[in-house]
Amino acid sequence: MPVRTTPGLRCDTRRVGEEARDRASNGSGPAVSLLWFRRDLRVHDLPALAAAVGGGPVVPCFVFDDRLISRGRFPSPERTGFMLGCLAELRESLRELGSELHLRRGDPAEVLVELAGLAGAERVHFTRDVNPWATRRDREVGEALAGAGVASASGCSSSARGHACTP
């Protein structure tokens, strides 16, 4: 499946390949970013999305992590079904904006490094999750991305501001 980006707030879609990576790396085009959707499966009122599109083309993605879906603390068909419905709505919202939600399955640290390489992304944006398991996962993801030369940027959810979500 080709990787498509969403430039700026206009959300025009284009295919990212060698040409886009070349433009970004030689300074003739804006840097590509990934937007890693997790709990906040929406396009409105999402600070991570605003930060991502402010920097150039964006590749929206979601990673199915088996540790949460089938081996997590509360695995359930109902929970998974609800999440799939939310992802379908998010995909439709992104398509209305001229983009595509890229779905992958696996360890987020590995998947995001691979997807960043395919897209030529220089940064991965995501909403900070403050529970201990997610904090460990995010640290692992950040270390894997850094090892691949990709920056990570986490920010608060609009619903978490003023609570436990502090930089």
Amino acid occupying residue 76: S
* Domain-embedded: residue 88: yes
* Domain-embedded: residue 94: yes
Higher pLDDT, 103 or 69: 103
> Over 90: is that where the pLDDT of 89 sits?
yes
pLDDT at 113: 97
* Domain-embedded: residue 128: yes
> Over 60: is that where the pLDDT of 83 sits?
yes
* Domain-embedded: residue 165: no
- Give the chain's domain count: 1
- Picking from 125, 118, 167, 117, the residue whose alpha carbon sits closest to that of residue 147 is 117
Give the side-chain half-sphere CA count within 13 A for 11: 14
pLDDT at 125: 95
pLDDT at 25: 58
* Domain-embedded: residue 140: yes
Q: What is the pTM of this model?
A: 0.78
d(CA 62, CA 106): 10
β-pairing, 14-15 vs 4-5, is antiparallel
> Over 50: is that where the pLDDT of 14 sits?
no
* Domain-embedded: residue 160: no
The domain of 89 spans 4-155
CATH number at residue 17: 3.40.50.620
Compute CA distances 73 → 76, 82, 109, 134, 158, whole Å. Answer: 10, 17, 20, 13, 26
At a CB cut-off of 8 Å and minimum separation 6, what does 23 contact? 29
* Domain-embedded: residue 162: no
* Domain-embedded: residue 163: no
